[in-house]
Amino acid sequence: MRLSLVPTPIGNLEDITLRALRVLKEAEVVACEDTRRTGILLKHFGISKPMVRLDQHTVGQARRLLQGYERVAYVTDAGTPGISDPGAELVALALREGWQLEVLPGPTALIPALVASGLPTARFAFEGFLPQKRSERRARLAQVTGRTVVLYEAPHRLRETLQDLLQIYGPEHPVAVARELSKLHEEIWRGRLADALEYFKEPRGEFVLVLGPKAEPTAGLEQEAEAVLEHLKAQGLKGKALVKALTEAGVPRNRAYELAHKPDTP
């Protein structure tokens, strides 16, 4: 079997490539996350193909659902399959099964948001959608603060995520918030985290957040903070109590959080 992963527009339908259209036309079947959504896309470009639903619940059955087809095109709801969607699991299955794999280049929200942010692009970490649990979310963020970070976020969680970012990075830290990229109401807001929280009071649309790297503390201050940390941990403090005690000792709150949640070395 030949499996082709075909990127589709994240908003503006003009972003589809000529190669993507050719592959969709040549495929025997189009596998997709949502047959209704993909059906609208195919109809717009005059393509009539049978469709098979392969979403996060059914992608594990891909071998059975695609049996008998030699040329399969796979699309997700929008953007490049395999980035924060079931496409990654399908690729893993294809490699295990020995299918011929083809991945087309094309639309994604990640790169336009990063470039338009005006923040450093030489090194960056893409975290996609963060964990829903706040403690896990903050722990993940604390690991990548030394470089530019790109995040995806849904509107109903945007403010909560901004609050977490403010605690870790500080209110003055630069951030770019891209909303509805390539669509009619596209917006790219740039400023401080504190101002972003004030600006996005009623978030609507799909969001990409880009944060600049956080300056590392100087060696002297870091050694002092580590010494305070060990002293407080020896007293049995941990969690929120440890963060509070570190802050009261003069350690910046975002750094205090990182230190308090740093795993113990054996």
Nearest to 16 by CA among 87, 78, 85: 78
Which residues neighbour 114 within 8 Å (Cβ) at sequence distance 6 or greater? 121, 124, 148, 150, 210
Alpha-carbon gap, residue 152 to 172, rounded angstroms: 21
Helices (H), 98-215: 110-117, 134-142, 158-169, 193-199
Residue 196 phi, psi dihedral angles, 5° rounding: -65, -40
Alpha-carbon gap, residue 125 to 3, rounded angstroms: 28
Question: Which two tokens mark 201?
Answer: 């009071």
Which residues neighbour 55 within 8 Å (Cβ) at sequence distance 6 or greater? 33, 34, 86
Please write the tens of the pLDDT for every residue from 9-48.
999 999 999 999 999 999 999 999 999 999 999 999 999 9
Using the predicted structure, report yes or no on whether residue 220 has a pLDDT greater than 70. no
Alpha-carbon gap, residue 87 to 263, rounded angstroms: 33
State pTM to two decimals. Answer: 0.77
pLDDT score recorded for residue 94: 95
Which range is least confidently modeled, 26-35, 72-81, 214-223?
Answer: 214-223
- Highest mean pLDDT, choosing among 136-145, 149-158, 239-248: 149-158
pLDDT band at 247 (very low <50, low <70, confident <90, very high): confident
Using the predicted structure, report yes or no on whether residue 226 has a pLDDT greater than 90. no
Per DSSP bridges, beta strands 187-192 and 174-179 are antiparallel
Across 49-67, average pLDDT: 95
